[in-house]
Structure 1
Amino acid sequence: HRQVQAKLPQEYHLLEALVQKVPLNTELPCYPFPSFVVNYYCCVEGHRDDQDPEGGVCVLLVFGSFTGGQIVLHEPGIVLEVEAGDIVIFPSMRLTHFNLHF
C-alpha cells in the first residue's frame, strides 16, 4: 500500500476514507482498496463504474497466459495490448472501458 500512497496520494486518501467505513473494522485482503474482482477469461461490455467515488481509480493487475483480451478505453480511443505483469490504472468512473475477446 505504500506504493499506492506514494504514487497516487490523492486517490490513497480517498481510499483510506472508504476503507474506514468497512463494518467491524475488518482487515481487507485488497487493502488499501475497498474491493477487488477477479475476471477469468471474461469479456465485459463497455461501461463506466458509476458507483465509484469521484476521483477513484481502477487498478488492473494482469496475470496468466492468454491471447487477446485487449483493454479498451473508449473516450481517448486507446486499445491496450496487455500481458502478465502489466498494471493499468485509470479513472473508471469517467472512462467507458471494456475488454476484447480472448
Structure 2
Amino acid sequence: MILYGLKSCDTCRAARKALENIDFIDVRDDGVPSEVLDAALAQFGKALLNTRSTTWRGLDEAERARPEKALLQDHPTLMKRPLIVDGDRMYLGWAKDVQAALAG
C-alpha cells in the first residue's frame, strides 16, 4: 500500500499512523508517478484538486484553467490528500468511509 501525501499534512500523518506496512511518498519531494496520476484522475476527476488550498488561491485564472494533470505535475501540493493506492484500488482523503474500507 502506498500513501501519497505531505509530511506536514495532519490528515496524512493520521492516515500513516493508522495504517500498517504503508510506503509513504511525499508529493512535494517526489511527485506522483504519471501512471498513478492518470489512474487517480480517471477515478476521482476534478475532486483530486484541492481548490481550498493556499496553492490554489495563489494561482491566476490562466493557471487554474490548465488541464488537471499539468497542474498537479507542476504543483503537487494541489492534490487532495492523502491518495492511497492499495493494489488496483485507490482512496482519496481520510474520511470515515476510507478508514472503514482500509480497517483490518
TM interval, shorter chain, is under 0.3
TM-score after normalising by structure 2: 0.27
Q: Which has the higher helix share?
A: 2
TM-score after normalising by structure 1: 0.28
Higher relative contact order (CA 8 A, sep 6+): 2
> Larger C-alpha radius of gyration, 1 or 2?
1
